[in-house]
Amino acid sequence: MDCIISPGRMEYLKGKKPEGCIFCKDSIRDENLVMYEGKSCYVIMNKYPYASGHLLVVPFRHIGDIGDTSDEEKTEIMDLMELSVKIMKKALKSEGFNIGMNLGRAAGAGVDSHIHLHIVPRWIGDTNYAAVVGDTRFIPEGIEETREVLIPYFQNIKEV
């Protein structure tokens, strides 16, 4: 059996869990993961990505039910999703995307009290036998490296 090492995951599993909502805390900005802040929502790198470049669009307000979003939040979630897709197509040469929300713990939401939209870039051939047979994903680039590629685009959105 092959052994795949993912040291960042153990830090999460054994580490102290933050109190309260991770998406509402100012400390999330201390981790250098926020890519862009809009009027009612922001874009953040997923600290534990499904694939390199995995982003989240998150409302600033603590909202656990999609029906509680304002019209402004609904619009900005979609606008930031579109912006993120454009940026990843240019910066990462993404060939496709998985986009969606896991609403409720039964649907797989890791944080079910604060809605957030996942944007996962995909490439032809980016999955292989390990994901199917071994229930293992390979993520070829760390989030710090991916952030350095993406952040100039988010800082200059008028050019996107």
Written in H, E and C, the secondary structure of 60-93 is CCCCCCHHHCCHHHHHHHHHHHHHHHHHHHHHCC
The per-residue pLDDT string of the chain (160 residues; one tens digit each, 9 = 90 and over) reads 445 555 555 665 566 666 778 888 776 767 789 999 999 999 999 988 888 899 999 999 999 999 999 999 999 999 999 999 999 999 999 999 999 998 888 887 778 889 999 999 999 877 655 454 445 556 667 788 888 999 999 998 876 6
> What CA–CA distances, in Å, run from 65 to 5, 91, 95, 102?
36, 32, 31, 11
Domain spans, the chain: 20-159
Supply the pTM of this predicted model. 0.80
Quote helix, strand, coil % in the chain, to nearest 5.
Answer: 40, 15, 45
32 residue type, one letter? N
Tokens 């454009």, located at residue: 86
CATH no. of 20-159: 3.30.428.10
C-alpha 46: how far from chain center: 4
Q: Pick the catalytic residue: 54, 62, 114, 116?
A: 116
**Which region holds residue 75: left if phi is over 0, alpha if psi is between -120 and 50, else beta?**
alpha
The terminus-to-terminus CA distance of the chain in angstroms comes to 44
Q: Catalytic annotation on 54?
A: no
